[in-house]
Amino acid sequence: MINYDRILIRYGEISTKGRNRNKFVDKLRKSISNVLHDFTGIKIEATRDRMYVILNGADGKEVSERLKGVFGIQSFSPAVKTNKDMEAMKDAALALFQKKYEEGKTFKITAKRADKSFPLNTDELNHEFGGHLLKNVPGLKVNVKKPDINLQIEIREEAAYLSCETFQGAGGLPAGSGGKAMVMLSGGIDSPVAGYLSMKRGLEVEAVHFYSPPFTSERAKQKVIDLTEKLSNITGAVALHIVPFTEIQQLIQQQVPQNYTMTATRRLMLRITDEIRRKNDGLAIITGESLGQVASQTLESMYAINDVTNTPVLRPLITMDKSEIIEIAQKINTHDISIRPFEDCCTVFVPASPKTKPKRDKVRHFESFVDFEPLIAKAVENTEKMIIKPQSGKEESFEDLF
Ligand code: ATP
Ligand code: MG
């Protein structure tokens, strides 16, 4: 009885990365061994253009389920390795096929010959294997355009690989292959989604959260810890920086005209985040801003806020509609945490009518009467850094995402 003995993994975009390829392959291998850490005995073999997870008796279904969430995988197929002997390959093909076959299903063969010295060419291989299946499976029909089962046979230098099914991977780029950025996590719906999408493109993220006790409760802080935990389930532990912000917010309330407090608050948050970024060797800041969503997210407002730093501020959600953002939040299981009704520091202090078109020069002027530097330094100094680990055994799998 033939069983799949490995999972064949196709890389997707990595293959276009030229000289960086080795680094990408290493990062992908690391992500895969992370999600499979509790399977003893599995082995990962990496080559230039694909990877194999050798099961060594591990449950292929469970392994496949875990692989669905790994960034950098374009697609994967449970596969079996045989030697390049026609009889052995035919036996394996028939055995695999019969496991999957049900009465009335159609099929085709897709042969590939990477080893050009193999005596049969692709057409001949298709023909040989097709004939063998038709002869041995009564009632079977060919359908080249839209087969129910596509039996893939790949002849490579070292061996032949056969598989009957292909699963969509999560796409994106391997975790940590793109450098580090700080994601500003508010506790709302948007920022965790922004973090997730950045991680999908290979960024390592650290979260930064501003809280203002006693105006915000311990439970509001817990919400952000829970959100960070969801992000950590995706690619492994995530650092969370919790910044005490009460003093600065109170000073802003006293010193800045009411319709500019929101703009000043955001500017101060950005300055502090930038300082935490610098201390932790990050190269960018990520926010959950979406154009036009609320007062602080007009173009004028972003211009006035962004004024405090040259560091790239990435806004993955900038052109998305709220409904699109919510859809992703639901898929990554952050939505229900985000809608828990706890105050965050911005909703507590939010003015009745924040300026939707703040002027940069005005906010600069208002801030110029206060020396925020020592308070910024103090906030950074008193920032609490936590390392949030994945819930064990709860790695997320994102079926059907994208
Ligand atoms: P979210 O759903 O992420 O809260 P939002 O639509 O409520 O976003 P704002 O409240 O205007 O938008 O905040 C814009 C962005 O600023 C957030 O997406 C987040 O990245 C950042 N931010 C706001 N408040 C905080 C906070 N307390 N701590 C850290 N970052 C924050
Ligand atoms: Mg918010």
* Ligand 2 center–CA 165 separation, angstroms: 43
The helix/strand/coil state of 296 is: helix
Select from 207, 200, 192 the least CA-distant residue to 235: 200
The helix/strand/coil state of 64 is: helix
Nearest CA to ligand 1 atom 24: 186
Q: Is there a binding annotation on residue 215?
A: no
The torsion region of residue 387 among left (phi > 0), alpha (psi -120 to 50) and beta comes to beta
* Ligand 2 center–CA 67 separation, angstroms: 32
Q: What DSSP assignment string belongs to 235-291?
A: HS-EEEEEEE-HHHHHHHHHHS-GGGHHHHHHHHHHHHHHHHHHHTT--EEE----T
Q: pLDDT value at position 345?
A: 62
* Ligand 1 center–CA 312 separation, angstroms: 17
Q: pLDDT value at position 305?
A: 96
Strand pairing class (204-211; 180-184):
parallel
Q: Among all ligands shown, which has an atom nearest to the Cα of 182? A: 1
> How long, in residues, is the chain?
402
CB within 8 Å of 177: residues ≥ 6 apart: 20, 23, 24, 27, 28, 72, 202
* Ligand 1 center–CA 288 separation, angstroms: 6
Contact 334, 230 (CB under 8 A): yes
Give how far Cα 28 sits from Cα of 45, 161, 187, 201, Å. 11, 21, 30, 12
Give how far Cα 369 sits from Cα of 14, 214, 252, 263, 275, Å. 51, 26, 11, 16, 22
Q: Tens place of pLDDT for every residue, the chain, 402 residues? A: 578 899 999 987 765 666 778 888 999 999 999 889 889 899 999 988 889 999 999 999 999 999 998 999 999 999 999 999 999 999 999 999 988 888 889 999 999 999 999 999 999 999 999 999 999 999 899 999 999 999 999 999 999 999 999 999 999 999 888 999 999 999 999 999 999 999 999 999 999 999 999 888 888 899 999 999 999 988 889 999 999 999 999 999 999 999 999 999 999 999 999 999 999 999 999 999 999 877 678 999 999 999 999 999 999 999 999 999 999 999 999 999 999 987 666 666 766 678 889 999 999 999 999 999 999 999 999 999 999 998 865 544 433 332
Q: Among all ligands shown, which has an atom nearest to the Cα of 211? A: 1
* Ligand 1 center–CA 287 separation, angstroms: 7
The helix/strand/coil state of 42 is: coil
Query: Would you identify the CATH topology of the domain 6-168?
Result: VC0802-like (3.30.2130)
Q: pLDDT value at position 398?
A: 37
Q: Among all ligands shown, which has an atom nearest to the Cα of 337? A: 1
Name the β-bridge partners of 181. Answer: 205, 284
Q: Is there a binding annotation on residue 398?
A: no
Q: Among all ligands shown, which has an atom nearest to the Cα of 189? A: 1
What CATH class does 180-388 carry? alpha beta
Q: pLDDT value at position 343?
A: 67
Q: Is there a binding annotation on residue 266?
A: yes
- DSSP code of residue 27: H
- Probe ligand 1: pick from 182, 184, 186, max atoms within 8 Å of CB? 186
Give how far Cα 65 sits from Cα of 171, 355, 398, Å. 15, 48, 9
Select from 319, 321, 360, 325 the least CA-distant residue to 339: 325
Q: Is there a binding annotation on residue 184?
A: yes
Q: Which two tokens stand for residue 234?
A: 């995706």
CB within 8 Å of 8: residues ≥ 6 apart: 50, 51, 52, 76, 77, 78, 79, 161, 163
* Ligand 2 center–CA 181 separation, angstroms: 19
- Probe ligand 1: pick from 184, 293, 305, max atoms within 8 Å of CB? 184
Q: pLDDT value at position 226?
A: 97
Domain boundaries, the chain: 6-168, 180-388
Q: pLDDT value at position 34?
A: 87
* Ligand 2 center–CA 328 separation, angstroms: 17
- Per-residue pLDDT tens over the stretch 106-144: 999 999 999 999 999 999 999 999 999 999 999 899 999
Nearest CA to ligand 1 atom 4: 188
- Probe ligand 1: pick from 182, 191, 206, max atoms within 8 Å of CB? 191
Q: Ligand 1 pocket: which residues have CB below 6 Å?
A: 184-186, 188-191, 208-210, 287-289, 293-294, 296-297, 344-346
Give me the residue label for tokens 């960086």. 20
- Per-residue pLDDT tens over the stretch 138-191: 989 999 999 999 999 999 999 999 999 999 999 999 988 899 999 999 999 999
Nearest CA to ligand 1 atom 8: 190
